[in-house]
Amino acid sequence: MTVGTGMGTSLLISVLLFQCTFGALVPVDPTKFKVGELKWSNCTGEDVVPGAECGYAVVPLDYFNSSAGVAKIALGRFNATAATRKGSVFLNPGGPGGPGVSLATVSGPDLQQLVGEEYDIIGFDPRGIGQTEPATQCFASPEARQAFIANTVLDRGYDVAPDVQDPFNRYHLIQTQRDADALYQSQFQVCAQTMGDGLRYMGTSTVVRDIDFITKLLDGEDALINFWGLSYGSAIGQYMVNMMPDRVGHIVIDGILDAISWTSVPSYKWERTFLVNTDDVYKLFMSECAQAGPSQCALAKSANETGQDVLARVENFVNQLYWSPLAVPNATAPGILTSGRARLFLMGALISPTSWPQAAEVLAQAIAGDGTAMLDAVNTKDLVDLERSAVSCNDHAPFKAPTPAEVIDEQLYDQAHVSRFSLTVVVSEPDAGCQFWPVTPPERFLGPWNQTLKNPMLIISNTLDPATPLRSGRLALERQGNDSARLLVQNGPGHTSLALPSLCTAQVLRAYFANGTLPAEGTVCEVDASPFPTETNTTAKVLSIDTSGRQNTLDSMHRLRKAIFG
């Protein structure tokens, strides 16, 4: 069964793409903006903290070809508030595709709680993302991109039969994959028409060179790089320490992406290692719900239920959607709730355990027949264009294009043996289709990943991270070596150490940025919050006797989690 769009939608797509093909990449004018220019001004927008600054740095568009032009990297800064300034700390919230200016302009004081008041907090929008110029703009508008993917597999996800071994399930998924491949090829051809060679400059190698260049502008030629990267930001950190091992100051990578897989393994094979903890987090969600009971979790039916009871009820609902999608006439964009869309919603919830009470309420409404909130949630797209593909495809070494059957057979193995969310992640983490990418970047770093560092870096991994497992943190430590890195394990669920606050982790971060102090080998930090807080849980007791300083740190971590993950 193939996914159709209907004549009306097809006509709209044709019109929008016709408009789009007459657009073109708008370069930064090198006669008006000179390499090395650094400008600051007052910020505009909501929630900007007093004292924050917004600006830009002008950098080479291509560090290997000075005639290529220039790029303007959007910056935000929250200045050091201590009497003694130590320099700048760059932050990246992940993605790729996440803009970072607001990390300084909105969250600067909270970040200083963790890295120290002696540092300027620097948020930046990486190449092709946010306010940085040139932008990744393949389509004429976000609405044009949305029209292109509407109700296709790239929008609604893969619908997987409850019995993954069913031969018809494989046939149906191969047909769906054929559609997906054609969509990838089409959207990248649109990119080639509208942006041309401008797409070459969006990769992580170039981002690392931007950070190095701007560090020297801000702090001087001999200043070392300080950086904290979350999720995909951990890839930036691994690139940085191995491309420029002598430039390393204080580098923290948090929620670790496997750099070798990211650069050298086709994305359809990632799930076998990336999702090893995902179903454990899913089961924990359901068991925490059962333990919290009906008063705290809308999915719980009675006080004596088990997590398996709640899980079975949710799985039965999702599986039934495969056979009978739910009509949702009252959503912002009316449509249908499919099993693929339900899995996309669930995967999003697993990332942030503090969202579990709300996610349970949305699930309960859908099970009762009202899928409005769930469909609205999955229809909210984080990316406005193909900025993520511009990073991941530029980063990835060329590979032999797999057939649709090869992709689906790999994914069906993963569905059966690794995680029921394997095909979900193909859509929620849109890195597929790079065999059709139309350009080659000026630099593509593929290792080595074992350089000896001027200063050791800090690696942080959660025990139950649904997207970047502890396994990847251990691999990064193994590759870098004990003299160049230390691993801190946070014992809790969710994506990155900010998923649930931990005073222990906060203290380790503070000490590391203060003077490079690393935690003892084997250190495990506990979390200081529960996904379903109750009056009797230990978190409530801790907070009731907490000092104001510790409470301020916990509050900062809560706000940072909300700012980054919503």
Between strands 225-230 and 248-254, the pairing is parallel
Each residue's pLDDT tens digit, 274-333: 999 999 999 999 999 999 999 999 999 998 999 999 999 999 999 999 999 999 999 999
**Predicted pLDDT of residue 9:** 37
3-state secondary structure 72-110: EEEEEEECCCCCCCCEEEEEECCCCCCCCHHHHHCCHHH
Q: CA 555, CA 209: separation in Å to the nearest integer?
A: 34
CB 387 within 8 A of CB 97: yes
Per-residue pLDDT reduced to its tens digit, 237-272 = 999 999 999 999 999 999 999 999 999 999 999 999
Phi, psi at residue 168, to the nearest 5°? Answer: -65, -35
Q: From CA 132, how far away is CA 387, in angstroms rounded?
A: 11
CA distance 284 to 466: 11
Helices (H), 265-306: 271-274, 278-292
Q: Strand, helix or coil at 538?
A: helix
CB burial of 458-492 (b: ≥16 within 10 Å; e: otherwise) equals bbbbbbbbbbbbbbbbebbbebbeeebbbbbbbeb
Question: 212: part of which helix (H) or strand (E)?
Answer: helix 204-219
Cβ atoms of 191 and 432 closer than 8 Å:
no
Task: Please report the pLDDT score of residue 547 as a whole number.
Answer: 58
Sign of the dihedral defined by the CA atoms of residues 271, 277, 283, 285, in that order: negative
Q: What is the pLDDT of residue 8?
A: 39
- Identify the pLDDT of residue 144: 95
Q: Which of 106, 41, 109 is nearest to 74 (CA)?
A: 41
Report whether 208 contacts 403 (CB < 8 A). Answer: no
Backbone angles phi, psi at 10, to 5 degrees: -60, -40
Integer Cα distance of 480 and 42 in angstroms: 41
CB within 8 Å of 264: residues ≥ 6 apart: 396, 397, 446, 447
Question: What pLDDT is stored for residue 565 in this prediction?
Answer: 82
What span, in angstroms and rounded, lies between the C-alpha atoms of 416 and 422? 9
Q: Would you state the structure tokens that stand for residue 439, as one six-digit string?
A: 């350009």
The DSSP symbol for 226 reads: E
* In the chain, where the domains are located: 278-378
Structure tokens that stand for 541 in this block: 């007791």
Q: Which residues of the chain have pLDDT under 70?
A: 1-25, 534-548
Q: Measured between alpha carbons, how far is residue 552 from residues 110, 194, 473, 547, 564 in Å?
A: 9, 48, 28, 9, 18
CB neighbours (10 Å) of residue 439?
A: 19
User: Side chain identity at 312, as an amino acid letter?
Assistant: A
- Side chain identity at residue 212, one-letter code: D
Token reading at 222? 């001999």
Chain centre to alpha carbon of residue 48 = 23
Distance, in Å, from the CA atom of 338 to the CA atom of 318, rounded to the nearest integer, reads 8
- Return the pLDDT at 20: 37
Q: From CA 500, how far away is CA 467, in angstroms rounded?
A: 15
Opening angle at CA 324, ends 323 and 327, nearest 5: 155
- DSSP track, 431-460: ---GGG-----S--------PPPSS-EEEE
Q: What does the pLDDT read at residue 29?
A: 83
Residue 24 is predicted with a pLDDT of 57
- Which pLDDT score, from 0 to 100, does residue 396 have? 97
